Amino acid sequence: MRRNVCVVGVGHADGPQATGLTPYQLIAQGFSRALADAGLRKDQVDGLASAGHMGMHEVAVAEYLGIRPAWLDSTSCGGSSFEFHAHHASRAIEAGDVDVVAICYGSNQLSASGRTLGTGGGGGARGMQPPGPMKYEFPTGLTLVGAYAMAAQRHMYEYGTTAEQLASIAVQMREHATRNPDAMYREPITVDDVLGSRLVADPLHKLDCCVISDGGACVILASEAMARDLAWTAKPVYVRGAAGGTTHHSIQAMADMTRTAAAVSGPRAMAAAGITPSDVDVFCSYDSFTYTVLVTLEDLGFAPKGEGGAFVADGNLRLGGALPTNPDGGGLSCTHPGMRGLFLLAEAARQLRRDAGDSQVADAAVAVCNGSGGWLSTQGTVVLGTEPTAGSRA
């Protein structure tokens, strides 16, 4: 028997552009707003998880926030880091090692570096030594976008996926962003708009790529016993299952570019939660690129392998569709400050609390969050729900 774990607080920092604020200040904004949301004092937080760029780590974050946690997690595996944090934190809370864990992130990537990141233009990566085999890939022109484009090309070759189908993902995410006053881009777009935008790395156009923004967030997890005394007790959101995995680091070591570690993390997380893909009401997907959504939704079992293109082109990601995805507009239109995985957990919690306003998915009771890190390298899957997993205890 394990203790139930609940999401008890969510806070967002300023964004999508927060000129003049440091990453630490953005973290502090999200943290303070999550504390207020939960009705917690900061001295009640006894666990902290954080990941970030430029040497930021959780010990420095703890000092900046003025807390002294007894439990720490600095797992850093790209955008999926925060799903790994939620997995580790929920296990620690279940075991009674800790009662309240804050997961934090902040980045001023847009203000500090601009739009050149990842496209070969340098930006914040200028002067950095690429790790491992990437020191041979980068000089030949294989950029971050190029790596994802290569994987997308393989999916097209094997399964007949089209650029139009990929573009439909961007169109549906933008449709959701039109409902979100905090989204970076809110003007509706069409498939033709996506295909007519600048080609970055064939087949990925500019509008197939995520936005670059500032931003930050904090999600606080706690035992259900503590949650009952806090602000969220009327609408509990439970962590029902979580898992993670990795298949490679650099793209040249990816054995199958049409399959990611989500094919492992997804079934494990859903089995722990006691659900199947057909039970999911909301999908919060990492959408660094349109292809990221396509390949991971297949790996998670929402569509058979190779049939994701037809699935998305039918409009199934829309509100009211078979798999409402990223109701906030996602990384493709809302916000993406370098690492977006924590925003997936925040949006899923908002949906399950029925606090999403015009973006609300009707009767949402089960949400799956899937973070992706690196070059499709690491995948972390978390299942949240309005009911606890059968057989657990408060």
Q: Can you tell me the distance from the alpha carbon of 30 to that of 37, in angstroms, rounded to the nearest whole number?
A: 10
pTM metric for this prediction? 0.94
DSSP strands (E only) in 13-69 = 47-50
- Give the angle subtended at the CA of 82 by the CAs of 295 and 135, to the nearest 5°: 65
Q: Which CATH number fits domain 5-111+212-385: 3.40.50.200, 3.40.47.10, 3.30.70.3450, 3.40.50.2000?
A: 3.40.47.10
Identify whether the C-beta of residue 1 lies closer than 8 Å to the C-beta of residue 207.
no
Q: What is the pLDDT along the chain (394 residues), one digit of tens a residue?
A: 579 999 999 999 998 988 889 999 999 999 999 999 999 999 999 999 999 865 577 899 999 999 999 999 999 999 999 999 999 999 999 999 999 999 999 999 998 875 444 443 343 444 456 667 777 777 777 888 999 999 999 999 999 999 999 999 999 999 999 999 999 999 999 999 999 999 999 999 999 999 999 999 999 999 999 988 886 655 789 999 999 999 999 998 999 999 999 999 999 999 999 999 999 999 999 999 999 999 999 999 999 999 999 999 999 999 999 999 999 999 999 999 999 999 999 999 999 999 999 999 999 999 999 999 999 999 999 999 999 986 665 5
Is the Cα torsion angle 102, 369, 340, 82 positive or negative in sign? positive
**Domain spans, the chain:** 5-111+212-385
* Residue 79 backbone phi and psi in degrees, to 5: -65, -20
